[in-house]
């Protein structure tokens, strides 16, 4: 089978993951990859577009030419228009990033949203493989959801999937300015922040809180319990509204099955007649975005 290489770039707020995949088979196979700090000097869009072009140049110098590139970015992304609408971390607004990338790269460019691309990868080759409808919920610094409904990614011009900003009824203010958002008690950063506020002991992200809860620390257990209950409430809303067969949970919080089991109990106890979604741990880890970008590039080549 001839080699069918594509470049895949996952631009994050702090790190850019770049890789080349062989896409001749059903599942992209990693050929080579790199991680570098996101470069943000001057215009953030110019800076990121230049960095992506340079990284693709470096990778192809190493392994040979690629046929296409898939580039995914965070925030609100309108893939159809090729516009990066908004990213708080990267500081851009209504940026014509797809065109900027096409000007800089010598191959066709597929442009997309990081969480949606990760969800596409989990749906096609990961934890939600074989399903018709699924939600992919990575729990990280923020919380978003990628939705596949009846086999089709649901995007609404990049505005769908703001799962972290569902109002679950608490009184805390979210970074978005509203109160009650899921993200304000259940994101990895919220867990660390809430634990530090209660105890005066610093906690970076969710891991120290999970570890402290496992040793019986009551403050850690309460903060963690709030987060899991909030996630369960959000998932029940998804179940009632969209009835996904599967909800795939990602991020460090769900690297072990034990917390997933707790969320499952909380979800199922209040769904009297709705379809109870199967909860699964994400299969692709933090490679999901790059794998999704590779799938987008392969789709572009296939004309789908």
Instruction: Return the closest-CA partner of residue 217 out of 236, 238, 195, 239.
Output: 195
Beta strands in 74-158 (DSSP E): 76-78, 83-87, 92-95, 109-113, 134-138, 146-149, 152-154
Residues 85/77, Cβ–Cβ less than 8 Å: yes
Tokens of 191: 């867990």
Least separation in angstroms between residue 144's CB and Zn ion is 11
Tokens of 250: 């990602």
Our CB check for Zn ion shows the closer of 25 and 177 to be 177
**Residue 103 CB partners (closer than 8 Å, separation 6+):** none
Residue with tokens 């470096």, as numbered in its chain: 58
Tokens of 87: 């990213």
Our CB check for Zn ion shows the closer of 88 and 302 to be 88
Our CB check for Zn ion shows the closer of 139 and 294 to be 139
Instruction: Return the closest-CA partner of residue 91 out of 30, 133, 46, 158.
Output: 46
Our CB check for Zn ion shows the closer of 110 and 144 to be 144
Our CB check for Zn ion shows the closer of 28 and 230 to be 230
Least separation in angstroms between residue 231's CB and Zn ion is 15
**CA atoms of 44 and 93, how far apart (whole Å):** 10
Our CB check for Zn ion shows the closer of 147 and 168 to be 168
End-to-end CA distance of the chain: 21
Least separation in angstroms between residue 257's CB and Zn ion is 29
Q: Which helix (H) or strand (E) holds 248?
A: strand 246-250
Least separation in angstroms between residue 14's CB and Zn ion is 21
Site residues, Zn ion (CB under 5 A): 165, 174, 176, 178, 181
Least separation in angstroms between residue 292's CB and Zn ion is 25
Bridge partners, residue 145, by sequence: none
Q: Within the chain, how many helices (H) and strands (E) appear? A: 9, 13
Residues 119/77, Cβ–Cβ less than 8 Å: no
Least separation in angstroms between residue 189's CB and Zn ion is 13
Our CB check for Zn ion shows the closer of 82 and 140 to be 140
**CA atoms of 48 and 53, how far apart (whole Å):** 9
Least separation in angstroms between residue 79's CB and Zn ion is 23
Our CB check for Zn ion shows the closer of 183 and 287 to be 183
Least separation in angstroms between residue 54's CB and Zn ion is 35
């Amino acid at each position: 089978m001839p080699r069918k290489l594509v470049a895949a770039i996952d631009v994050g707020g702090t790190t850019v993951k770049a890789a080349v995949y062989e896409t001749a088979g059903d599942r992209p196979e990693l050929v080579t990859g790199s991680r570098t700090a996101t470069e943000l000097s001057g215009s953030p869009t110019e800076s990121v577009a230049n960095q992506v072009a340079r990284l693709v140049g470096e990778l192809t110098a190493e392994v040979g030419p690629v046929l296409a590139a898939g580039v995914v970015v965070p925030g609100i992304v309108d893939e159809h228009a090729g516009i990066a609408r908004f990213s708080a971390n990267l500081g851009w607004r209504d940026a014509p990033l797809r065109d900027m990338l096409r000007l800089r790269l010598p191959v066709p460019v597929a442009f997309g949203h990081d969480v949606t691309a990760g969800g596409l990868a989990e749906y096609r080759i990961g934890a939600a493989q074989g399903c018709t409808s699924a939600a992919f919920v990575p729990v990280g610094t923020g919380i978003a959801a990628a939705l596949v409904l009846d086999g089709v990614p649901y995007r609404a011009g990049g505005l769908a999937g703001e799962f972290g900003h569902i109002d679950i009824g608490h009184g805390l203010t979210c970074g978005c300015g509203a109160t009650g958002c899921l993200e304000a008690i259940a994101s990895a950063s919220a867990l660390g922040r809430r634990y530090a506020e209660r105890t005066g002991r610093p906690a970076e992200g969710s891991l120290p809180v999970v570890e402290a809860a496992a040793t019986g620390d009551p403050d850690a257990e309460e903060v963690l319990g709030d987060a899991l209950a909030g996630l369960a409430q959000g998932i029940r809303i998804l179940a009632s509204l969209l009835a996904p067969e599967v909800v795939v949970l990602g991020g460090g919080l769900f690297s072990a099955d034990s917390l997933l089991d707790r969320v499952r109990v909380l979800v199922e106890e209040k769904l009297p007649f709705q379809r109870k979604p199967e909860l699964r741990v994400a299969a692709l880890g933090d490679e999901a975005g790059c794998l999704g970008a590779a799938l987008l590039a392969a789709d572009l080549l296939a004309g789908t």
